[in-house]
Structure 1
């Protein structure tokens, strides 16, 4: 099979794009600290101001992602996986694209509660189900992560 120059260029471009989308986390980036929830209602009330802040600042973060983040930076969002039994689990999604109100990416957390999903599974969801966003940087610093930073010190 012979590829024309234009088809070969498209194949190479797609390969390069897929490689460029691999999320990058610095070795000194803050580690995720899963938290069990005793009362879902109380949990929802407690995180509400942080979710509101994340949602109000998301359009600017999204615009930066769509324009192209600098090399070594990655864009993650947080949403919930829902189990058939009513359980839920908040996970990071490594964002690959955002189109027509849908976030598409891969699960970048290791699900412990909702077992139907696993780390690196493809996952998409409507933007209105977004809970938080995070831009990671090569030096280990981050932007956003309003809910996540709150949960690092959360006491029920």
Structure 2
């Protein structure tokens, strides 16, 4: 079973994925992180860390028009407990980033920008690039959580 999971994970993480609509990918990721119990899975975080330097270079050279960079970052919440959040990146310079925290609008079912936040690059756990046509890159943690959910659904049938 672990071999099958590894193969499916490798298959699902390779190449860009075309989503139904950009906001649904983002809303799904925000929801997954809100509902997550325990730490983020290690395997997709390692891949995100490995590919982060290329993302940084691409971001600093300038992303294509309409492409938005989101990061999953580890921040402290009001209780000083570490919490993974999705942030839409506004600036990324010399290892320091600013952006807006993405929250789920429960009335509309889509992710919306909220409070501003700043953090160090070391807080990054994962990354996601969304293009206007719905294509995505990265989102290793989100894809992994999707795959786990699908496999759990299959095993319960």
Please state if 1:103 is matched with 2:79. Answer: no
Distance apart, 1:154 and its partner CA: 3.5
**Counterpart mapping for 1:2-151 below 5 A:** 28-29=21-22, 30=25, 31-33=27-29, 34-35=31-32, 36-38=35-37, 40=38, 43-44=39-40, 47-110=41-104, 119-151=113-145
Distance apart, 1:88 and its partner CA: 4.2
Q: Which runs of 5+ in 1 are unaligned?
A: 1-25, 113-117
1:93–1:109: 8 Å Cα contact kept in structure 2? no
Distance apart, 1:111 and its partner CA: 9.2
Residue 58 to residue 72, structure 1, CA distance change in 2 (3 Å): same
Which structure ranks higher in relative contact order (CA pairs < 8 Å, sequence separation ≥ 6)?
2
Size of the alignment, in residue pairs? Answer: 121
Structure 1 vs Structure 2 CA RMSD: 2.7
Counterpart position of 1:15: none
Counterpart position of 1:20: none
Query: Residues of 2 paired with 1:88 and 1:76: CA distance?
Result: 19
The DSSP-based 3-state class of the residue aligned with 2:133 is: coil
- 1 or 2, which has the higher helix percentage? 2
Counterpart position of 1:23: none
Distance apart, 1:63 and its partner CA: 0.7
Q: Tell me the TM-score normalised to structure 1 length.
A: 0.66
- 1 or 2, which has the higher strand percentage? 2
Q: Tell me the TM-score normalised to structure 2 length.
A: 0.66
Highest CA radius of gyration, 1 or 2? 1
Residue 84 to residue 107, structure 1, CA distance change in 2 (3 Å): closer
The DSSP-based 3-state class of the residue aligned with 2:147 is: coil
Query: Residues of 2 paired with 1:86 and 1:37: CA distance?
Result: 18
Q: Which runs of 5+ in 2 are unaligned?
A: 1-18, 107-111, 153-157
The DSSP-based 3-state class of the residue aligned with 1:72 is: coil
